[in-house]
């Protein structure tokens, strides 16, 4: 049932596909409206022992009745793209779901299989395996230390940097709303508005 709701939400918010962050947050809100304990899950880890630092966001859904955590990634398959893949790796990627909905066990199996395959594909082409395609890095994306948030808008949404880029919300007050401007009218009765 969860997968069906995810697919429905992806269809409903398909117009947001170019803005992955807003798409993810709207799908999360849709799932919450359907009664799921869904949240944006943010993983973040530091460099250590050959592991490159990184962070990642996806949706997770906690189901208390089953004591299960479900992972929902709306652009899952693209996370496994590599340079100059072999034919066998391209074939394998055709089976990786574009939108992933599954448990940690499902995820671990896919990560192991695809990471090993990517390593072999790159090695056969004489290419180096980039740190962000190593199995440990891929595991940390979804299974690393995380925090959950249910905020519909990211914390950076209203920052000055987003306003400069034209992504901020721009409002203009028109009329005589006394709740705006500290309880004072925007245009006092004696002011000329020509």
**pLDDT 10s per residue in the chain (194 long)?**
999 999 999 999 999 989 999 999 999 999 999 999 999 999 999 988 888 899 999 999 999 887 899 999 999 999 999 989 999 999 999 999 999 999 999 999 999 999 999 999 999 999 988 888 889 999 999 999 999 999 888 776 654 444 455 555 544 444 444 444 444 444 444 444 44
The pLDDT value given to residue 154: 77
- Inter-residue contact 24 to 58 (CB < 8 Å): yes
Handedness of CA 164, 170, 174, 178 (dihedral sign): negative
- CA 14/CA 163 separation, integer angstroms: 24
The reply to whether the predicted model has a pTM over 0.85 is no
Domain 2-152 has CATH 3.10.670: yes
Picking from 24, 14, 58, 35, the residue whose alpha carbon sits closest to that of residue 152 is 24
The SS3 assignment for 87 reads helix
Alpha-carbon gap, residue 71 to 39, rounded angstroms: 10
Position 182 scores a pLDDT of 45
Single out the residue of 41, 113, 110 nearest to residue 70, CA to CA: 41
Res 175: pLDDT? 46
Structural domain boundaries in the chain: 2-152, 159-194
């Amino acid at each position: 049932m969860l997968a069906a709701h995810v697919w429905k939400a992806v269809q409903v918010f398909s117009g947001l596909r170019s803005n992955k962050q807003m798409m993810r947050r709207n799908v999360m809100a849709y799932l919450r409206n359907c009664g799921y304990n869904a949240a944006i899950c943010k993983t973040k880890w530091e460099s250590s022992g050959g592991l490159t630092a990184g962070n990642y966001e996806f949706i997770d859904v906690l189901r208390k009745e089953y004591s299960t955590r479900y992972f929902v990634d709306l652009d899952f398959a693209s996370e496994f793209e590599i340079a100059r893949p072999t034919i066998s790796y391209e074939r394998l990627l055709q089976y990786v779901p574009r939108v992933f909905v599954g448990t940690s066990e499902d995820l671990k199996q896919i990560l192991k299989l695809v990471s090993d395959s990517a390593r072999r594909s790159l090695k056969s082409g004489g290419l180096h395996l980039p740190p962000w395609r190593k199995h440990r890095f891929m595991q940390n994306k979804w299974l690393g230390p995380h925090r959950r948030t249910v905020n519909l808008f990211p914390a950076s949404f209203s920052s000055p940097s987003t306003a400069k880029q034209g992504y901020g919300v721009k409002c203009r007050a028109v009329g005589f709303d006394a709740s705006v401007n500290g309880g004072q009218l925007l245009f006092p009765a004696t002011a000329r508005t020509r």
